[in-house]
Amino acid sequence: AGCAGVPAVLTAIEEGATVACLQKQGSVAANGFGSSAVCLEHSTSAGVMRWMEDWCATNDDRVNRELFQHHLDHSCETLSWIIQQANKVGVEGITYKSTGTVVYPDGEVCADIEMSTTGNTQMLDALAKYAEEQGAVFYYGTPAVQLIQEEDGTVTGVIGKKGDSYYKLNATKGVILATGDYMNNDSL
């Protein structure tokens, strides 16, 4: 139930699924104060490629380029959807800016738009409450401890643990692993 999980829950609900979400923390957990996206419609192809190469170089080329390209292709649509969801639940204090836009000396452009809030936790908490009103069930303080798999590797459910109790959740449509980032997880 963080920056990846709450939007996944809302999307699954939009698609007609019955949803349960395991969250290892005792509540919604999110870092930061917003999100950004590349707006391809207002960028040049060369500008986006240059921006991508700059990011890869800054990160010592430890970037999965296929995933990065997927982000570039879909981030503007995704940010627009998040803003619509936040507006739907009345989250206040959202600001928008384009100061991340890069205009290169040769005129190539990578248009970056940003949304800022008073805190992602506040926004995601409101969105999780909305998801609960739509029928989602959140199991807070219940980390997933095991995926349930068929012999061919197909994931058909998950087992969560809260205290001494275990919860087995079987999936008919799918299991989404929305684990967020790994910067604070030394094992990764």
| H-assigned helices in the chain | 5-14, 45-58, 65-88, 120-133
Q: List the 165-170 sheet strands across, edge first.
A: 144-149, 155-162, 165-170
Q: Is the pLDDT of residue 163 over 60?
A: yes
Taking the whole predicted model, whether its pTM rises above 0.95 is answered as no
At position 72, the amino acid (one-letter code) is: L
Considering only CA atoms, which of 151, 140, 127 is closest in space to residue 10?
A: 127
If one compares 179 and 6, the residue with the highest pLDDT of the two is 6
- Angle 151-20-24 from CA coordinates, rounded to 5°: 90
In degrees, rounded to 5, the angle at the alpha carbon of residue 109 between the alpha carbons of residues 61 and 50 is 20
pLDDT in tens, 60-106: 988 899 999 999 999 999 999 999 999 999 988 788 888 889 999 99
Give residue 183's pLDDT: 58
Distance CA 52, CA 58 (A): 10
Confidence category of residue 186, pLDDT binned at 50, 70, 90: low
Q: What percent of the chain has pLDDT over 70?
A: 95
